[in-house]
Amino acid sequence: MIIPKLTDFSEASLDQYFGALHEEARQSIEDQGFDKESFRLDWLGRKQGKLKQISDALLKSAPPEAKRLIGQRFNALKEQIEIWLAVEHLLDGDSAKHLDVTLPGAGRRVGAEHPLVKTMAEIVGVFQRMGYSVGLGPEVETDFYNFEALNFPPNHPARDTQDTLVVAGQEGRPLRERLLMRTHTSPVQIRSMLEQAPPLRLVIPGKVHRNDAADATHSPVFHQVEGLCVDTNITFSDLKGTLDHAMKAFFGSAVKTRFFPSFFPFTEPSADVQISCIFCGGKGCRKCKQSGWIELLGCGMVDPAVFEAVNQRRLEMGREPVYDTRRISGFAFGMGVDRIAMMKYGISDIGLLYSGDMRFLEQFA
């Protein structure tokens, strides 16, 4: 390249000179035979590049007062060439550079929520919006919290229904202190009432265990959400209204509830609650065994014996026995999260929930 000797360092002359260089670079980019690497060497090469030559020839010979004007134009040209190099492949319409938009995208996908965790959070959320605080308790419990205070007397047949897994080496201890895997989340009711005076509104999610052989609908490990509402003048119709409202909030406003007498040692009256089948709307289908109803939860008015056990223990702890059964009443309810999740997502085998199987879990992403 021959660098013309400049004699006129006026702005107009410099503009013309750099304008010509700019145009030259632009044309070579638009050339059919454009080659990125030779273009780069041609202009930016450290030894023979045009910009190097220009800077050598021009900046050295220019009078000091022109150096700033040259420098500005030189830098602008250099920047333009660098930009062209960077985005050159986006400037023309070469079809060889077209993307295959049907190829899958790169990068790891966001992980999936576990259906149990998600369902449990949704249920808890419904009750939080109804004014319930969240309560938690340990998974290893004493016989006192899991049974005795909940009105399961020692040797009572009702204990048989719970199939308890017990911690080893408890034989030498008093029954009420023996450790076991909690069979339900209800012990947290007792723990909460020992700590707090009424009014109380709690929603209690958690993992529970039973000595049940695993099959498609049973697992020794499963999850419950428990609820407790205690205050003056809490009635059975409040229990009905609360659960009816909660089921509508969770499953949709078209859902109906109905209540059946049932038996739990720690509630009286006790009830099982069915909801109208969420699959057929109550007309009867395979899912609801043609009945139009699905059994969903157990509930009842807190048995006065439970309040009395709480009062007794509060006295032992040096606290006021504030659960006066002549003034205070309450209701409690509990539901199996696994069953609800299985129903909601059409899961046929409870074991899948505890398998860590990616093929199963990724469906919930």
Partner 1 sequence: MDILTKWLRSYLPGLDVDDRQMAEDLTLRGIAVEGEFEAACGGARFEMDITTNRVDAMNHYGVAREAAAIYDLALEPLTQGAGAPVMETKAGDGFPVRIEAEDLCGRFTARVIRGTTVGPGTGVIAEYFGALGQKPISAPVDVTNFGWMAMGQPTHVFDLDQIEGGIVVRRARAGERLRLLDGSEKTLVAEDLVVADEVKALGMAGVMGGWESRVTEATKNILVEAAWFDPAAIRASSRRHGLHTDASHRFERGADFNAAPVANHLVTRLVVEQCGGEVVGPLVDVVVAALAAKTADRAAIPLSVSEVQRHLGTTADGKGISEALVVRYLEALGCGLTRTGEGAYAVKLPSWRLDLEREIDLIEEVARVYGYNRFADTLPSFAGAVRELPHARQEAVIRETLRGVGFTEAVSSTFVSEQEAATFGGGGVALGNPLSAEAGMLRPSLAPGMATMLAHNLHRDVSTVRLFELGTVFTGSTAKVDERVGLSLGVTGGAVKTALHREEDALFYEAKGAVEALLERFEGEVSFDAAELPEWVAAGRGARVLLDGAAVGVFGELSGAELQARKLRQSCVIAAIDAQRLLRTALRQPVSRELSRFQAVERDFSFVFPDAVAWGAIEGVLRGWKLEELRRVTPVEIFRDAKGKAVAAGFYSLLLRVVFQSRERTLTEEEIAGWSEWIVGQLSALGGVQRA
Q: Interface residues for partner 1 in 120-149 (CB under 8 A)? A: 128, 130-134, 136, 138-140
What region, left, alpha or beta, does residue 290 occupy, with left being phi > 0 and alpha being psi -120 to 50 degrees?
left
Nearer to partner 1, 176 or 258 (CB): 258
Q: How far is the CB of 47 from partner 1 (least distance, A)?
A: 18
Give the burial string for 108-120 (b: 16+ CB within 10 Å, else e).
eeeeeebbbebbb
Pairing of strands 140-142, 179-181: antiparallel
Burial class (CB within 10 angstroms; exposed 0-12, middle 13-18, buried 19+) of 305: middle
- Say how many residues touch partner 1, by CB under 8 A: 77
| Tokens encoding 149 | 């205070």
For partner 1, what does the binding mask look like between residues 262 and 291, x meaning CB under 8 A? xx----xxxx--------------------
Q: Which is nearer to partner 1, 69 or 221 (CB)?
A: 221
Cβ closer to partner 1: 88 or 139? 139
**Residues 325 to 344: which contact partner 1 by CB under 8 A?**
329
Please pick, from the candidates 35, 113, 320, 324, the single residue that binds partner 1 as defined by CB under 8 A. 113
Q: Which is nearer to partner 1, 124 or 190 (CB)?
A: 124
CB 264 → partner 1: shortest distance, Å? 9
DSSP codes, 44-87: H-TTT-HHHHHIIIIIHHS-HHHHHHHHHHHHHHHHHHHHHHHH
List CB contacts of 324: < 8 A, sequence separation 6 or more. Answer: 307, 311
Query: Given the structure tokens 């109550």, which residue do they identify?
Result: 282
- Tell me the closest approach of the beta carbon of residue 350 to partner 1, in angstroms: 11
Cα angle value 333/339/345 (rounded, 5°): 130
Among 3, 16, 260, 281, binds partner 1 (CB under 8 A): 260
Q: Which stretch binds partner 1 (CB under 8 A): 13-21, 90-98, 260-268, 342-350?
A: 260-268
Determine if 191 is a binding residue for partner 1 (CB under 8 A).
Answer: no
Provide the token pair at 20: 């010509």
Task: Among 41, 44, 117, 249, indicate the residue that binds partner 1 (CB under 8 A).
Answer: 117
Please report, as residue ranges, which positions from 69 to 108 form the binding site for partner 1 (by CB under 8 A): 108
Structure tokens at 11: 């702005």
Q: State which amino acid sits at residue 219.
A: S
Site for partner 1 in 30-59 (CB under 8 A): none
Instruction: Please say which residue, 63 or 169, places its beta carbon nearer to partner 1.
Output: 169
- Give the integer Cα–Cα distance in Å for 284 and 281: 8
CB of 262 to partner 1, least distance (A): 6
Q: Which two tokens stand for residue 357?
A: 């199987």
- Rounded to the nearest whole angstrom, what is the least distance from the CB of residue 4 to partner 1 in the complex? 31
Positions in 196-255 near partner 1 (CB under 8 A): 199, 201, 207, 209, 211, 213-214, 220-221, 229, 231, 233-238, 240-242, 244-245
Buried b or exposed e, range 307-316, using 16+ CB within 10 angstroms: bebbbebbee
Site residues for partner 1, window 150-189 (CB under 8 A)?
155, 157-158, 161, 165-170, 179, 181
Beta strands in 197-325, from DSSP E residues, in sequence order: 200-209, 221-232, 257-264, 267-276, 293-302
